Structure 1
Amino acid sequence: MRRKIFLNFVSLAIVSSILTAVLISVIFYNFYLDSEWKSLKNTAYTISGTIEHIKYDDFQYLINIKKKSPNIRITIINSQGKVLFDTDMEQSKMENHLERPEVKEAIRNGTGESTRYSTTLGQDTHYFSVLLSDGSILRISQDYDNIFTAMGSILPGIIVIVLLVIFLSFFMSSLLSKKILKPIKMATENIDKIISGVNLSEFEIYDELLPFTQAVNRQSLEIKKYVNELKEKADTIETITENMSEGFILIEENKKIVSLNNSAIKLLDAKDDKDYYKESFIVLSRDIEINKTLDKVLKTGENKEILVYLSNRYLNVYINPVVNDGKVIGVMILIVNNTDKYRAEKMRREFSANVSHELKTPLTSINGYAEIIESGLTSKEDTVKFAGIIRKEGNRLLELIDSIIRLSKLDEDFSSKEFDFVDLYEMANNISQNFDIAAKGKNINIVVEGNHNKVQADKSMMEELLYNLIDNAIKYNKIDGTVNVKIQDEINSTILTISDTGIGIPKEAQERVFERFYMVDKSRGNKSTGLGLSIVKHIVEYHNGIINLKSQVGHGTKIKIELPFIQLKNS
């Protein structure tokens, strides 16, 4: 801006000086010309008045005037236009002057004047004629430089003046531009203070700029207020989204990411150390189904919901368009992890199917033998035998139903857990004694190690846990085998370990032995419901514990349970 003001000042000064010089020259030239005209006329009137009273046949008087004023030319012309006398040329060589404008005008009006330009001399010649009393005409002429010749003669002076004016204009325009821009510069340098609402009287500001600066001041305060409100809303939204367990993503119409939370990065199994702002969605997730659905939503503007299985998780992905004036300008994606829900549903379906199957087997056996007895075709010995089978299958059925009921209770969401102080060592000894007959039948030695330390737990659940584990250790042990029950304290927990020297569990089945109704060998179906270890796992989880299993086929199995010391009686 300063440069523009400076150049404008300089240009204005140069143009003004040139125009002024030209105008003054023209004025002075016209003044000079007017003066010369008057002088020429006065000379003509003086000569005409004098020669009216003297005889001028020898024209000596006129010759004397010529000598005194060499710049003028005197000519005497008779009424027929013949030149009688001329101070500059021999009259005999001169042509008739009757048609000269100044002569014709003098004959007609008494006086006449004209100006003619000489291309040879480059000058204007002014003529003035006076009609004498005898009918002859006195003409006086004088040469003058025309305006262009005069301007040419004074041009060096004009150039000098213009150069001086330019020099002065450079100096003055620099000073003026600084002075003019000083308040503006001050306002610019302190724009932050003006925006922040400082008193404008502290600054030197043009009155013409005050409405503008006041408007800037007022609008800046409004903008600041609006920005603060937006920031508060943005912070609120960010806080909400960052604390969401669901994934949240905002995408532009060109599939560039403008916002996402950490849950979205984790659920899509993306790199959490990368900045995804303005990155294409494909960089965040390469899942084909999600990307295809995203393209459809951007194209059609319809809401879409899909279920994808990604990184061992079942994800419900809700993709909704963001519409403005009927045009899709982006997409909002909500990702919900429903893995537990779908696994629970899958488990429920499998559990229902397994329950139906496991209940059907003993019932079928009971009905079959009952029909045979009912037919009356059996002997007394067979009736007794079949009745024993029916009783056995009935007991198995009751045991199965009882296990299912216990599992259902363990699946419930307990709002209150009532714990007592339980002596695991004493409890293990008591339960081991209940298995003396079964153990002696296979010559199995049961060893309980540890001390009388107590842990906070549900007593009945602990009894069932020990019962199931010792029962399995005996049931699937070898003849002359060993079952070892060990209770020991660690820093923050109690460790319960039950190991046997039995047949062991194949490696491929070890991850599934805690599933409901899962049996390693179906031929053992008459010995097991397939629910014992599942119940054990649920009891451990109920007590916030950890269960681990190690087994080797032909060498036995070792189950280790860690129960934390600190338990809340009402958690």
Structure 2
Amino acid sequence: MTKRIFRSILCVSVAVLAAILIITLGVVYGYVNVQQRSELRDEAVYLAPGVEADGAEYLRKLEQTEKRITLVDPDGTVLYDNQADPSVMENHGNREEIREALATGEGEASRRSHSLEEPTLYYAKRLESGQVLRLAGSEYHVFTVFANLLYPMCAVSLFMVLMAAFFAMRASGKIVEPINRLDLEEVKEGDVYEEIAPLIRKITHQKETIVKQVLEAQKQQREFEDMKERLRREFTANVSHELKTPLTSISGFAEIIQNGIVKPEDIPGFAGKIFEESQRLIVLVNDIIKISQLDEGGIPYDKEEIDLYEMAEEVLGRLEEPARKKHLNLQLLGEHVKIGGVRMILDEVIYNLCDNAVKYNRENGTVIVRVKRDRKGTQLVVADTGIGIAKEHQGRVFERFYRVDKSHSKSIGGTGLGLSIVKHGAAFLGAAVELDSRPDEGTVVTLTWKS
């Protein structure tokens, strides 16, 4: 443990030292670069009056200098260069610093020189004659600056590393000393410093904690088993009841027709009722299958990019007819946002939300679907002005076959599995479901895909 603490402290110290050296190198390099540019600018300003008076002749009379001096005509023709033959040099009108100087009076650039084949800093100044005086100097590379500072940096670094190692060794020994002095046969919190007290308390109460955890786990397991059994019985009873209701109706209407006690003109009506109940039975069975597939992950699927706005638009299009019968105003707001998911499952989730918003709405009500993306992620919000859900029911509406008002639900249709499909489908798609509802005001359901 002592070695680990020592290595950790030493590594942190070395990392901090390295960061300081890198920052220092960057600051020094930036300073040198600024100084280079300033020297070029000052020398250009110094030479400008002489060039304006005597032109290139003035430059030829100058003593040899490390700086490269170039005089360029407004059309880009090189008139003079102290390190290359102007007659073989290409037109400089397209050089960045030349263009900038002609446009604004002065220009700067940093690039590799075609003539000298080395990184070069350029400064150009436009003269009153329209010509451009350009000075250039070799740009110090960051490694050049590093080489110049290598010896002092190495000396300082070695000294700092040795100091860090010394203090790390001392600190690690001090940290573990109270732990090494612990008497595990008779542990007392007062024998060590305060930072070790939580460890002492943990050792002292370890057995008691383990026993409590085991008892709590056993209790939770029993509760879980009881809950599973209760849900299984409820599901079986609900499925039996929901299947029995349409089957009883179908059987009754068929028996009446079979016994010939129906007038011929009433047969189409009875047949229509048989058809309605059979369709209700098919929808119920399909919903049960969907729930089971979502539970078991047995749905064959291919994930793809889906435009959430377009899918919501398609779903609202399929609900236009039932909405028209109740004189509802369907609105789709927001933006086109794409998410990754399974089209069939996403369609089922959005359809069930919108279908509920239509079914449980009031005459002349409104259904608003909004698609948006913000800091929380991507959201699909379905809001209605319907009958709402009381607070005591909101925690259970996503359960299978749960209905707030069974008589009302029966009159408008539905299997009681819609919101359960929404919950399981959203979980499959990686979305969180939030419900906010107030009786007689409406309901808002939000699906959120976190960024």
TM-score by length of 2: 0.52
Structure of higher RCO (CA pairs closer than 8 Å, 6+ residues apart): 2
Shift of 1:505: 0.6
Matched residue, 2:285: 401
In structure 2, C-alpha distance between the alignment counterparts of 1:389 and 1:416, rounded to whole Å: 35
| Preserved CA contact (<8 Å) 1:506 1:553 | yes
- Judged with a 3 Å threshold, the aligned counterparts in structure 2 of structure 1 residues 353 and 274 are, in CA distance, closer, same or farther, namely farther
| Preserved CA contact (<8 Å) 1:540 1:563 | no
Q: Which has the higher strand share?
A: 1
- Correspondent of 1:421 among 295, 305, 316: 305
- Judged with a 3 Å threshold, the aligned counterparts in structure 2 of structure 1 residues 374 and 274 are, in CA distance, closer, same or farther, namely farther
User: What aligned pairs does 1:539-554 form with structure 2 within 5 A after superposition?
Assistant: 539-554=425-440
Q: SS of the counterpart of 1:356?
A: helix
- Correspondent of 1:378 among 248, 251, 262: 262
Residue 221 of structure 2 corresponds to residue 314 of structure 1:
yes
Matched residue, 1:441: 325
Query: How many residues are paired up?
Result: 252
Q: SS of the counterpart of 2:221?
A: strand
- Judged with a 3 Å threshold, the aligned counterparts in structure 2 of structure 1 residues 486 and 273 are, in CA distance, closer, same or farther, namely farther
Matched residue, 2:55: none
Residue 441 of structure 2 corresponds to residue 563 of structure 1:
no
Residue 406 of structure 2 corresponds to residue 525 of structure 1:
no
Gaps of 5+ in 1: 1-270, 291-305, 316-337, 566-571
| Preserved CA contact (<8 Å) 1:443 1:481 | yes
| Preserved CA contact (<8 Å) 2:309 2:334 | yes
Residue 277 of structure 2 corresponds to residue 277 of structure 1:
no
Gaps of 5+ in 2: 1-197
In structure 2, C-alpha distance between the alignment counterparts of 1:428 and 1:508, rounded to whole Å: 30
Matched residue, 1:387: 271
Q: SS of the counterpart of 1:371?
A: helix
Q: SS of the counterpart of 1:525?
A: helix
| Preserved CA contact (<8 Å) 2:346 2:429 | no
After superposition, give the CA deviation of every residue in 1:407-459 in whole Å (9 maximum; x if it has no partner).
11101146986311111111111211111111111110010011112110111
User: What aligned pairs does 1:10-409 form with structure 2 within 5 A after superposition?
Assistant: 275=202, 277=204, 281=208, 285=212, 308-309=218-219, 313-315=220-222, 339=224, 343-409=227-293
Shift of 1:360: 0.6
After alignment, is 342-351 or 478-487 more displaced?
Answer: 342-351
Shift of 1:403: 0.4
- Judged with a 3 Å threshold, the aligned counterparts in structure 2 of structure 1 residues 453 and 389 are, in CA distance, closer, same or farther, namely same
- Judged with a 3 Å threshold, the aligned counterparts in structure 2 of structure 1 residues 499 and 375 are, in CA distance, closer, same or farther, namely same
After superposition, give the CA deviation of every residue in 1:189-228 in whole Å (9 maximum; x if it has no partner).
xxxxxxxxxxxxxxxxxxxxxxxxxxxxxxxxxxxxxxxx
Matched residue, 1:318: none
Shift of 1:275: 2.4
Q: Percent identity?
A: 41
Matched residue, 1:496: 380
- Correspondent of 2:368 among 470, 476, 484: 484
In structure 1, C-alpha distance between the alignment counterparts of 2:316 and 2:399, rounded to whole Å: 26
Shift of 1:564: 3.4
RMSD of aligned alpha carbons? 2.9
In structure 2, C-alpha distance between the alignment counterparts of 1:415 and 1:466, rounded to whole Å: 18
Q: SS of the counterpart of 2:324?
A: helix
Shift of 1:487: 0.4
Shift of 1:285: 3.5
- Judged with a 3 Å threshold, the aligned counterparts in structure 2 of structure 1 residues 379 and 506 are, in CA distance, closer, same or farther, namely same
In structure 2, C-alpha distance between the alignment counterparts of 1:434 and 1:379, rounded to whole Å: 37
Q: SS of the counterpart of 1:314?
A: helix
| Preserved CA contact (<8 Å) 2:393 2:404 | yes
| Preserved CA contact (<8 Å) 1:425 1:487 | yes
Q: SS of the counterpart of 2:311?
A: helix
Q: SS of the counterpart of 1:513?
A: coil
In structure 2, C-alpha distance between the alignment counterparts of 1:462 and 1:364, rounded to whole Å: 34
Shift of 1:348: 3.1
Q: SS of the counterpart of 1:275?
A: helix
- Correspondent of 2:423 among 497, 520, 537: 537
- Judged with a 3 Å threshold, the aligned counterparts in structure 2 of structure 1 residues 277 and 410 are, in CA distance, closer, same or farther, namely same
Shift of 1:544: 1.8
TM-score by length of 1: 0.41
Shift of 1:366: 0.7
| Preserved CA contact (<8 Å) 1:366 1:393 | yes
| Rg comparison, structure with higher value | 1
Q: Which amino acid aligns with 2:410?
A: G
Q: SS of the counterpart of 1:390?
A: helix
Q: SS of the counterpart of 2:286?
A: helix
